[in-house]
Chains A and B, each alone.
Chain A
Amino acid sequence: MAAISRDDVAHLAKLARIEMTPDELDHMATELDQILGAVKRVQEVATADIPPTSHPLSMSNIFRADVVKPSLTNEEALSGAPAQAEDRFKVPQILGEE
């Protein structure tokens, strides 16, 4: 029984905003199923008494002072923009949200 189905992959692709072809979805499902089969062994040793490590460091409270430093210029900020207008980033219409 596959751990991850084609529909699962389609849902994940949507969450990740990647428009995959049906072929890709099929292949991806097979590959991921294989990989998940290999990686789920982490569950064998991940018992309740073991705390998770999300970070190799044990530092805390790293803050900076509330001081203003120079920003990028408008040109620098927009320098990579695929499209711009009125000193702003121009992007396609944001649909389907309202």
Chain B
Amino acid sequence: MTLDYAAATNKYEPTLGLEVHVELNTNSKMFCSCATEFGASPNTQTCPVCLGLPGALPVVNGKAIESTILIGLALNCSIAPYSRFARKNYFYPDMPKNFQTSQYDEPICVDGYLDVEIETDEGPKTFRVDIERVHMEEDTGKSLHVGGSTGRIHGAEYSLLDYNRAGIPLVEIVTRIIPGTGKYAPQVARAYVTQLRDILRSLGVSDVKMEQGSLRCDANVSLAPIGSGLLGTRSETKNVNSLRSVERALTGEIERQANRLEAGMRIIQETRHFLEESGLTRPGRSKEQAEDYRYFPEPDLVPVTPDAKWIEELRAKLPENPADRRKRLQKEWNVPDSEMNSLINAELVDVVEETIKLGAEPTRARTWWLGEISRLANEKEVAPTTLISTAFVAEIIALITSGDLTDKLARQVVEGVVNGEGSPKEVIEKRGLKVVSDDSALMVAIEAAIAAQPDTAERIRGGNIPAAGALIGAVMKATGGQADAAKVRELLLKHLGQG
């Protein structure tokens, strides 16, 4: 009998471990001055250093050190007063020196944590993910496998290597094992990677685009019977290219391992590849005989010894933690979780905050971005923020608040701005969308409506207030919707002795 996920997690408990690699967005590479632009022609961003030519020597990119320290600080790590680079020795054609200049037993950041919140059956629950280390290393080149049936490595006739990516700074963030997540392991993993991504984005140190490979996640998981207190053999899953895949990969892997254990088979310690289409993993490099990396301190580089002063300078540069910021804004705006989550999912929190900073009334700022502007954006299949600037939105909202525009008119202004007819002022001008609130102009229309519907007017004089709706409607029609409806009502009722 095959266990499904629920059954699997009823019997076994998963222990999680996550390794995330972040490609830094420095202008130049980690150990040389080649450009790091994505998408350049093959082998046009290489030099003796990143090609590993005989005689080449590395020189550390100071900005990369800074970025790594910022990441460590944002993850509540201690910054090591003394850290060194080390050589990790193994042979692979995408690695020009056949060793990777990395860090081993003296990493730059250690002992941090990230608190991650997920929704459980019992409501929101926080898991503290302990971070063992954050260290620096360099990326490898890219190989294209040619020939063979699938174009993937197995069965290929030859490979083509592009070293543009070789040497780009990578930061590796390694968690300690994460116990006690139970069936929520996949969600915890996803939430962790999501939060990490948001923090890295807020620090401005990386593009963090999983699809482009600037954020990579390797997920380790092992199973043990619930309550046994044992640790099982773990597998490592690579090639997880999206947040959703993190969750799917772990779900699939937990199921796979549980079923193997049920069948009496043992788990092989190995690296597996995640397959997007099926949501399953397939075996990759066997880690049974772990490669001996023969680490030793990199003799071509000197130690990194950040002093307390520099660390504090960098700490002062840290922006507010994104999760904390969102909590703070939710409190300030006083909105329920559902609305906040909508804003977060639509990635509108930043623009709404900006629009409010420009003077817009908060509730309107949220409703307009989440409502009308998002609707138009969906129609055009673009992001809302590309349609109209926060300045313009703030301007339009200000006009609504002051009464110069009704909601209905404002919608037309938004439409006009989005269509490229100009700024809100220009659209209002061109389309003549100003609210008519001049009393005398309104009285003209009101008297005309009364004259056209004398019976209705009589009923109103008699105390039938709801009847005013018909006359207000007539005035609105006559003014092309530009009359201030509230004002019309006020004047009309007054005129008919009811205001």
Chain B associates with chain A:
yes
Chain A residues within 8 Å of B, Cβ to Cβ: 15, 17, 54-55, 57, 59-69, 71-74, 77-78, 80, 85-95, 97-98
- A59 to B304 Cα, complex, angstroms: 9
Which residues of the other chain, A, contact B143 by a CB distance below 8 angstroms? 94
- A90 to B341 Cα, complex, angstroms: 50
Which chain A residue lies CB-closest to B160? A88
| A17-B91, A64-B60 given; A89·B27 CB < 8 A | no
Check A55–B299 contact: CB distance below 8 A: yes
Which residues of the other chain, A, contact B180 by a CB distance below 8 angstroms? none
Check A67–B161 contact: CB distance below 8 A: no
Check B153–A66 contact: CB distance below 8 A: no
Check B156–A93 contact: CB distance below 8 A: yes
Check B28–A86 contact: CB distance below 8 A: no
Give the top 8 A-B pairs by smallest Cβ distance, nearest first: A63-B62, A66-B63, A69-B33, A88-B160, A89-B161, A60-B305, A87-B42, A54-B297
Check B44–A71 contact: CB distance below 8 A: yes
In the complex, whether B292 has a CB less than 8 A from a CB of chain A is yes
Chain B residues within 8 Å of A, Cβ to Cβ: 26-28, 33-35, 41-48, 51, 53, 59-65, 82, 91-93, 143-145, 147-148, 152-154, 156-163, 273, 284-285, 292, 294, 296-297, 299, 301-306
| A71-B45, A87-B42 given; A64·B61 CB < 8 A | yes
Decide if the interface of chain B is mainly helix, strand, loop or mixed.
loop
Check A66–B160 contact: CB distance below 8 A: no
- A61 to B435 Cα, complex, angstroms: 66
| A73 in complex: contacting residue of B44, B273, B292, CB < 8 Å | B44
Q: Specify which of A61, A77, A87, A90 lies most central, judged by the most chain B CB atoms within 10 Å of its CB.
A: A77
Check B144–A77 contact: CB distance below 8 A: no
Which chain A residue lies CB-closest to B42? A87
Check A62–B59 contact: CB distance below 8 A: yes
Which residues of the other chain, A, contact B65 by a CB distance below 8 angstroms? 63
| A93-B156, A97-B285 given; A66·B61 CB < 8 A | yes
Q: Specify which of A60, A61, A71, A86 lies most central, judged by the most chain B CB atoms within 10 Å of its CB.
A: A71
Q: Specify which of A57, A61, A66 lies most central, judged by the most chain B CB atoms within 10 Å of its CB.
A: A66
A-B pairs with beta carbons under 8 A, tally: 132
- A15 to B34 Cα, complex, angstroms: 31
Which chain A residue lies CB-closest to B306? A61
Check A68–B34 contact: CB distance below 8 A: yes
| A71-B35, A88-B162 given; A66·B28 CB < 8 A | yes
16 contacts between A and B (CB under 8 A): A55-B302, A61-B306, A64-B59, A66-B62, A67-B28, A69-B28, A72-B48, A74-B41, A77-B43, A88-B43, A90-B158, A90-B159, A94-B92, A94-B93, A94-B153, A95-B153
- A64 to B163 Cα, complex, angstroms: 21
| A97 in complex: contacting residue of B82, B153, B299, CB < 8 Å | B153
Check B35–A68 contact: CB distance below 8 A: yes
Which residues of the other chain, B, contact A85 by a CB distance below 8 angstroms? 160
Which residues of the other chain, B, contact A59 by a CB distance below 8 angstroms? 302
| A15-B292, A91-B93 given; A77·B46 CB < 8 A | yes
Which residues of the other chain, A, contact B292 by a CB distance below 8 angstroms? 15
Check B33–A64 contact: CB distance below 8 A: yes
Check A67–B33 contact: CB distance below 8 A: yes
Check A90–B46 contact: CB distance below 8 A: no
- A53 to B3 Cα, complex, angstroms: 56
Which residues of the other chain, A, contact B299 by a CB distance below 8 angstroms? 54-55
Which residues of the other chain, B, contact A77 by a CB distance below 8 angstroms? 43-44, 46, 51, 163
- A62 to B273 Cα, complex, angstroms: 39
Check A72–B28 contact: CB distance below 8 A: no
- A97 to B303 Cα, complex, angstroms: 34
- A20 to B401 Cα, complex, angstroms: 84
- A89 to B33 Cα, complex, angstroms: 21
Q: How far is the CB of B481 from chain A (nearest CB, A)?
A: 57
- A62 to B57 Cα, complex, angstroms: 13
| A72-B46, A74-B42 given; A64·B62 CB < 8 A | yes
Q: How far is the CB of A10 from chain B (nearest CB, A)?
A: 14
Check B145–A94 contact: CB distance below 8 A: yes
Which chain A residue lies CB-closest to B54? A80
Check A91–B158 contact: CB distance below 8 A: yes
13 further interface pairs, Cβ-Cβ under 8 Å (given A54-B297, A61-B305, A94-B93): A55-B297, A59-B302, A61-B303, A62-B59, A64-B33, A77-B46, A86-B42, A91-B158, A91-B159, A94-B92, A94-B159, A95-B153, A98-B154
- A69 to B47 Cα, complex, angstroms: 10
| A62-B59, A63-B62, A71-B35 given; A92·B158 CB < 8 A | yes
Which residues of the other chain, A, contact B93 by a CB distance below 8 angstroms? 91, 94
Which chain A residue lies CB-closest to B82? A60
- A15 to B154 Cα, complex, angstroms: 22
Which residues of the other chain, A, contact B301 by a CB distance below 8 angstroms? 62
Which chain A residue lies CB-closest to B141? A89
| A71 in complex: contacting residue of B47, B59, B152, B305, CB < 8 Å | B47
Q: Specify which of B26, B43, B65 lies most central, judged by the most chain A CB atoms within 10 Å of its CB.
A: B43
